[in-house]
Structure 1
Amino acid sequence: ICIALLAGNLWLAIYLLIQRKVSFRQFAEEMANFTVLSLLFVNTPLLLGFALYFVGWHSLSSVMDQVRFFRERLGRYSLKDYVRNTLPLSLAAIAGLAGLVGIQSSLGMGFNIGAVFIFISVVTLPHMILIDQLYQELPVI
Structure 2
Amino acid sequence: MKNLRQIAILASFFCIWLTSYIHGEYEIILSFFLILSFGILHGSNDIFLISKIWESGPLTSYGRVLSFYVVFVLLALGLFYFAPIVALSIFILCSAYHFGEQHWENDFTLVEGIWKRFFYLLYGMFILSLLFWLKNEEVNEVVVAISGYDVSEAFISYVFYSDLIVLVPLWLFLIVRDNIVRKQVLAELFYLVIFTIIFKVSSLIWGFAIYFVFWHSLPSLYDQIYFLNNRVDKKGVWDYWKMALPFWLISVIGIVALYYVFKDLEIFYALFFSFLAAVTFPHSIAIHKMFKTRNSKNDRI
* 1:95 Cα deviation from its structure 2 partner: 0.4
1:1-141 matches, within 5 Å, as 1=157, 4=161, 9=167, 11-20=169-178, 22-72=180-230, 78-105=236-263, 110-111=264-265, 112=267, 113-139=269-295
Q: Partner of 2:174: helix, strand, or coil?
A: helix
AA aligned opposite 2:244: T
Q: Partner of 1:78: helix, strand, or coil?
A: helix
> Given the superposition, is the C-alpha separation of residues 11 and 22 from structure 1 closer, same or farther in structure 2, using an over 3 Å criterion?
farther
Contact 1:71-1:78 at 8 Å conserved across structures = yes
Alignment gaps of 5+ in structure 2:
1-156
Contact 2:225-2:236 at 8 Å conserved across structures = yes
Partner of 2:122: none
If asked which structure has higher relative contact order (CA below 8 Å, sep 6+), I would say 2
Contact 2:198-2:207 at 8 Å conserved across structures = yes
* 1:67 Cα deviation from its structure 2 partner: 1.4
> Given the superposition, is the C-alpha separation of residues 72 and 29 from structure 1 closer, same or farther in structure 2, using an over 3 Å criterion?
farther
AA aligned opposite 1:67: I
* 1:86 Cα deviation from its structure 2 partner: 1.3
* 1:56 Cα deviation from its structure 2 partner: 0.8
* 1:52 Cα deviation from its structure 2 partner: 0.8
Query: In 2, Cα distance between the equivalents of 1:28 and 1:70?
Result: 32
Query: In 1, Cα distance between the equivalents of 2:182 and 2:250?
Result: 42
Query: In 2, Cα distance between the equivalents of 1:25 and 1:71?
Result: 30
Contact 1:13-1:27 at 8 Å conserved across structures = no
CA deviation string 1:52-83 (max 9, x = no partner): 1001111111111111211339xx96223222
| Count of residues in correspondence between the two structures | 135
Q: Partner of 1:138: helix, strand, or coil?
A: helix
Contact 1:93-1:123 at 8 Å conserved across structures = no
Q: Partner of 2:217: helix, strand, or coil?
A: helix
Query: In 1, Cα distance between the equivalents of 2:179 and 2:171?
Result: 10
AA aligned opposite 1:65: D
Mean CA deviation greater in 126-135 or 56-65: 126-135
* 1:49 Cα deviation from its structure 2 partner: 0.8
Contact 2:225-2:237 at 8 Å conserved across structures = yes
Contact 1:69-1:134 at 8 Å conserved across structures = yes
